[in-house]
Amino acid sequence: MKYLFLFIITTSYLFANAHIFVYHRFADDRYPSANTTIKELTKQFDYFKQNNYEVVPLSKILDKLEKKEEIPNKWIALTIDDAYKSFYSHGLEIFKKYNYPFSLYVYVEATEKHYGDFMNWEQIKESSKYGEIGLHSYSHKRMQNLSDKEIIQDTKNAFDTLVKYTNITPTTYVYPYGEFNEKVTNILKNNFSFRSILNQNTGSVNSKTDIYDIPRIALVGNVNINHKLRYKTFDAKWIEPKVFPRDGILKKVIVKVDKKYKKLKLYITKEGWRDVSVKNGVVDLDLNIYLKRARTRVMIGPNVFTISNNIINKVKTKKGEIK
């Protein structure tokens, strides 16, 4: 086992990397931080076409991952979170025009209870002719704040309700707000038969990507799509931090990486980038930084485009204190 682990962290092939993007709202200027205009969407799709990117169904990438096969560099999968009405009214026609498949992740309670901004069941069924449908929880709560029982209940409710109204069996899941921790992932893995779980961390997908921890890059506002396509997942094993520290103080960062690296760049939310040294494939850093954000991103890599993400979220109990 030990040797297998060493083998995994010391091999350094040039892995091919596909990219998975996530959209939220379309042509809805009330919410600029979640919106993609039609002009911008068309610009991105034209870029994919002109540069020979192939937009494939997410399931095609999952087929490759399950077989541990290389994933072509030029593959892209597109996902849409929440199932806002604006996708149905504005986004879908552009996807159809370019013949680009997508995975649509339904916030089930919003659709079931007819919350104003969200698609109805008929619109979801209609969309399923052109894309895949997955789950984005029932209640869209931060899963890491729920008990084990509540996480199971929420997911079961989402699953059963979607099947009841659409007859579609969802096979993939994306976390509300992209927030999760090891506990949440394990509960979803162990109690449901999802083929894959996707997060919202910056990175790429290659044959070594964990199928239950797939990165997706958010595309909102005006983006430099060429830059987004340069992101690659850096192969690293995080030892510390695993969870958000109780006292809010990040004391240490420990990461195992390929032995060939001597120096890397480390990023912490609100702290920015710093250079760190690597000894025998280990970054071991004493920090004592007070974390200013409940959602803190720690990243490491040889450059700002080749990174491993570690996002730690403050966990709150019902009484409001940190667990």
* Site for Zn ion, rule CB under 5 A: 81-82
Nearer to Zn ion, 82 or 179 (CB): 82
CB of 140 to Zn ion, least distance (A): 6
In the complex, minimum distance from the CB of residue 24 to Zn ion, in angstroms, rounded to a whole number:
7
Smallest distance from Zn ion to CB 148, Å: 22
Nearest distance in Å: CB 114, Zn ion = 17
Q: Which is nearer to Zn ion, 53 or 107 (CB)?
A: 107
Minimum distance of Zn ion from residue 175's CB (angstroms):
9
Task: Give the residue with the Cβ less far from Zn ion, 67 or 114.
Answer: 114
Residue among 65 and 104 whose Cβ is closer to Zn ion:
104
- For Zn ion, the closer of residues 103 and 308 by Cβ is 103
Q: How far is the CB of 252 from Zn ion (least distance, A)?
A: 32
Query: Look-up: residue for tokens 């931060």?
Result: 142
| Nearest residue (CB) to Zn ion, 174 versus 307 | 174
